[in-house]
Amino acid sequence: MPGKNNSNIPEVVVQRLPQYVRALTQLHNRNIEVVSSKELGDALGVTPVQIRKDLSYFGRFGKQGRGYNVVFLLQELRHVLGLDKQWTAAVIGIGRLGSAILSYPGFGQEGFNMVAAFDSAPLGIGSRIGELIVQNIDELERTVKSKAIDIVIIAVPAEQAQSVTDRVVKCRVKAILNYAPIKVQVPSDVRVREIDPVLALQSMTFHLKSLHD
Residue-range domains of the chain with CATH: 6-80 (1.10.10.10), 87-198 (3.40.50.720)
Distance CA 24, CA 19 (A): 9
Q: Among 159, 188, 160, 165, which Cα is nearest to 177's?
A: 165
Q: Coil, helix or strand for 116?
A: strand
Those residues whose C-beta lies under 8 Å from the C-beta of residue 76, and which sit 6 or more positions away, are 1, 58, 59, 61
* Residue 140, pLDDT above cutoff 60: yes
Average pLDDT, the chain: 91
The residues with which 186 forms a beta bridge, in sequence order, are none
Q: Considering only CA atoms, which of 2, 46, 4, 6 is closest in space to residue 23?
A: 46
Per-residue pLDDT, 210: 79
Is residue 3 very low, low, confident or very high in pLDDT (cuts 50, 70, 90)? Answer: very low
pLDDT at 213 over 80: no
Q: Residue 65: pLDDT band by 50, 70, 90 thresholds?
A: low
Tell me the pLDDT tens digit for each residue of 168-205.
Answer: 999 999 999 999 999 999 999 999 999 988 888 988 89
The pLDDT of 9-23, averaged and rounded, is: 92
Q: What is the pTM of this model?
A: 0.87
pLDDT at 60 over 90: no
What are the tens digits of pLDDT across the range 91-122? Answer: 999 999 999 999 998 898 888 999 999 999 99
pLDDT over threshold 50, residue 37: yes
Alpha helices (H) in 10-156, listed in sequence order? 11-29, 37-44, 48-56, 70-80, 96-103, 106-109, 140-146
Mean pLDDT, range 24-39, rounded to an integer? 93
Question: How many angstroms separate the CA atoms of 59 and 49, rounded?
Answer: 15
